[in-house]
Structure 1
Amino acid sequence: MINRLDLRGRSLSARELIEALPRAEVRVEDAAAVVEPIIAAVRERGAAELRDLAERFDGVRPTHLRVPADDVARALLELDPAVRAAIEESISRVRAVHAAQLPAPFTVDLAPGAQVRQRWVPVRRVGLYVPGGLAVYPSSVIMNVVAAQEAGVRSLAVASPPQRSGGGLPHPTILAACALLGIDEIYAVGGAQAIAMFAYGATGSEPQDGAILCEPVNVVTGPGNVYVAAAKRLVRGVVGIDAEAGTTEIAILADAGADPGHVAADLISQAEHDPAAAAVLVTPSVELASAVEARLTDAALATRHSERVLQALAGPQSAIVLVDSVDHGIEVVDAYGAEHLEIQTADAAAVAERITNAGAIFVGPYSPVSLGDYMAGSNHVLPTGGCAHFASGLGVHSFIKAVQVIEYSADALEEIATRIVAFADAEDLPAHGEAVQARFV
């Protein structure tokens, strides 16, 4: 059911290793060709295009693109109390972690009268995307909203696809999560069109929209499919983005001491998201590999979404990768750069400290990815597709910017004036030096 890749005894260059590892056969560049006209149409026609696209892609034409307050209040009132308690607990834990992420301002005195200060400023407005599709993600509401709130962002808007079963509104659990977080600007808009709406804003087309349906934002964040990722790539530069977060992936580095039942269950938990989800086990133990394989089929058949799980596990993006040793496995998972990386080895904490490329690392048998999806306090909006080599997961840092403040006295500037002039002359920019000299004539 799941492919095997044997890397034992092979000496591969960094490039060869990356190319050998399993990846989904999805190209954002190809999706961009589909998405580009969607973005242009939303930019030109606003709400009218958003309704047309909802009818085309979601099978429903929303009466209200911006969700009325009464519908948000009703969703919270009708929320299952057990689900409400779980959401509230998640909010509390995620808020505690993200409050600790705020960087401190600093002041550096370089000489008497020569000072550089740095402070952190939140962006003015953000657009937070919460996917729909095959599952419901109130957890993504929490991850996006709490990080932005703890950064100090004042204006937050959430978009999530309209649902046919909900009369064109986002899923009620999404609305209820927004209500618990104090978010009242919520749009029934999905996919690439939501990203376009956030980036460029949207004019109204119906009386209930008003003249302006949605004001443009400064930053767009949130996970989604390849079309959402392509849309984010195309609007980058108009707005900031977190990352091109695509279909989920899990890698597990495990040795012979790992519980094969735990490993199989964790692989299936992420395969459940999407037929294109990636599930990768890296192990030096042939015995563990065989034991996990033996459990995967029965466990996959027994779970509710068995069809998509089986498709994901059998796809080219999933595999059991055999390596020579745990050290070799560290090299392999670092090359892979997983969105979620579990370490189920002896001395798992020490092994985790040696990993440099992963969206989030889950240490030991009692830290499954499912914990991070909901209750760990960490953020689950993470870089996929190898982007962990250069990108971080969503956090407070996604919504703030550094502003440097430079303040020199006359004496402090005069002390280094000749060196500034020398630099300016070396760069053949003499007016730079002259601007300094003019102060001491």
Structure 2
Amino acid sequence: MLTRIEWSQADAETRQRLFERPSLGSDALKVAQSILDDVRARGETAVREYAVRLDGWAPEAGFRVPQTELKAAADALSGDDRAAILDAANAVRTFHAEQGYRSYEVETWPGARAGRRVTPIDVAGLYVPAGTAPLVSTLIMLAVPAQLAQVPRIAVIAPPCKGQGVEPTVLAAASLLGVDEVYAIGGAHGVAALGLGAAGLPKADKIFGPGNAYVAAAKSLLAQSPDGAAADLPAGPSEVMVVADDKADAELVAIDLLSQAEHDVLAQVVLVAYSDAFARQVENEIERLLGDLPRAETARAALANSRVVLVSSDDEAAEAANAYASEHLIVQTDDPRALANKIRHAGSIFLGPWTPEAAGDYAAGPNHALPTAGAARAYGGVTVEMFQKTTTVLELSQTSLQTLGPVVERLATLEGLDAHRLAMVLRRQRKADR
């Protein structure tokens, strides 16, 4: 039976403890920091040692997968698999095509023109989990927005299967998407190599993609380092919250919970139910469905960290959902849209009984690279804008100095920064002297 509480009876400390993520208790930050420090100090030698020990794969020729191998993997795909990858990519492209920053220019003072220019980052590093489950869908979710942003260099890293290189379906998807730079390396050491530009990998400006607790920690630490790559968002072990009233289908609720639990032993699932009787129905369905899952052992481990929250109203359900700030939020209630409108914090929301989170994971269009561990309070999922940056451009005329100048001079005086004031005064004097 999953750990459960009644929301209305729980105090703030109990609620906070209930929603602690299992990955927070790991040694990921400490381990990732030691790996980053080692790669900084010893470069490729350190990367290769970690690759041999953790991946069982460190070819003498380098970590980059030859383009001939990418093409061969694509050619070996069945027609149905090829169509599924391309159809999913098309849906993701259609959804993300509406995104992206825009360039513009306005006149802020008479004769003062201020504009914003949009350019892509130079090198995007994409992390594609491919150890126990080759996530072809993650490659689609990351590569398509990068391409729409017109990033000139896209470098993919993916954990190799033990002693076998990257799983062929990931290589095939890369080939079909037109991504030709793939490296057979994963984990925190792969992130370190990509973020620092070691062992033949390019130095990424920004690293994208979900991963385990060690990958998430390495990304976070690199983003805090002057010599490291920026990170897209906090994306660690997967999680889902399902809000379901007594009219919901218990079997569908159960399989939605299991679809996240099977990701990772550190994944977390939360059921928000309106009665204990319904929660027990869902638990019975979970136990029945587990028997047929190839990854049942992983799912059971994740379920040990999972929760049931009992609520008595939509308002309580919304309060619980906002407190958890889930990566994925599934709403199976009588009026799911009305309840969803009360929820401010969630990476992605799935409405109604016919909308499994699995659709979002693969081919519906919205991005599945989402914030975890409560980061949805401040972050959204991966977008085209994340692969872009903006630069402001300002051009003043002599005319603008007469209106803008006194304001700049006064504010500089207020702040006690006299060189700032003089930078404007001297220009205004030059105009007066002419």
TM-score (norm: length of structure 2): 0.94
- Contact 1:283 1:325 survives alignment (8 Å): no
Out of 205, 223, 245, which is 2:235 matched to? 245
1:34 aligns with 2:31: yes
Give the conservation status (yes or no) of the 8 Å contact 1:94–1:378: yes
Identity %: 39
Does residue 1:332 correspond to 2:320, yes or no?
yes
Q: Give the SS at the match of 2:22.
A: coil
- Counterpart CA distance in 2 for 1:46 and 1:368 is 44
1:214 and 2:201 correspond = yes
The one-letter amino acid of 1:422's match is R
**TM-fit CA distance, 1:105:** 2.4
Distance of aligned partners of 1:48 and 1:28 in 2 relative to their CA distance in 1, 3 Å threshold: farther
Equivalence for 2:171: 175
Aligned residue for 1:8?
Answer: 8
Partner of 1:382: 370
Partner of 2:276: 286
Shift of 1:286: 2.8
Q: In structure 2, how many angstroms separate the alpha carbons of the residues matched to 1:92 and 1:66?
A: 27
Question: Residue 206 of structure 1 corresponds to which residue in structure 2?
Answer: none
Return the alpha-carbon distance in structure 2 between the equivalents of residues 81 and 50 of structure 1.
38
Q: Deviations over 1:236-293 (max 9, x none)?
A: 0422101221110000111122111110010011111112211111122333212112
Of residues 189, 192, 202 in structure 2, which corresponds to 1:193? 189
Change in CA separation of 1:417 and 1:18 when aligned onto 2, cut-off 3 Å: farther
1:309, distance to aligned residue in structure 2 (A): 1.3
1:207 corresponding residue in structure 2: none
Within 1, Cα distance between the matches of 2:58 and 2:394?
A: 53
What residue in structure 1 maps to residue 213 of structure 2? 226
Q: Quote the Cα distance in structure 2 between the aligned partners of 1:36 and 1:303.
A: 36
Aligned match for 1:295, one of 285, 290, 294? 285
Is contact 1:17-1:332 (8 Å) kept?
A: no
Pairing of 1:94-113 with structure 2 (within 5 A): 94-113=92-111
Asked if the contact 2:138–2:368 (Cα under 8 Å) also holds between the matched residues in 1, the reply is yes
Structure 2 counterpart of 1:306: 296
Structure 1 position 380, deviation (Å): 0.7
Tell me by how many angstroms 1:28 deviates.
Answer: 7.6
Structure 1: any 5+ residue segments left out of the alignment? 204-212
Q: Using the alignment, how far apart are the partners of 2:387 and 2:110 within structure 1?
A: 34
Deviation readout 1:345-397 (Å, 9 max, x if unpaired): 12211222221111111111111110000011111111100011111111112
Q: CA deviation at 1:18?
A: 4.9
Out of 198, 201, 216, the position equivalent to 1:202 is 198
1:25 corresponding residue in structure 2: 22
> Matches of 1:148 and 1:402 in 2, distance apart?
16
Q: What is the alpha-carbon distance in structure 1 between the residues aligned to residue 20 and residue 111 of structure 2?
A: 55
What amino acid sits opposite 1:310 in the alignment? R
Give the AA of the match of 1:122.
Answer: P
RMSD: 1.7
Query: How many residues were matched structurally?
Result: 425
Q: Tell me if the contact between 2:207 and 2:230 (Cα under 8 Å) persists in the aligned partners.
A: yes
Alignment of 1:362 with 2:358, yes or no, is: no
Give the direction of change, closer, same or farther, for the CA distance of 1:320–1:18 in structure 2 (3 Å limit): closer
What secondary structure sits across from 2:291 in the alignment? helix
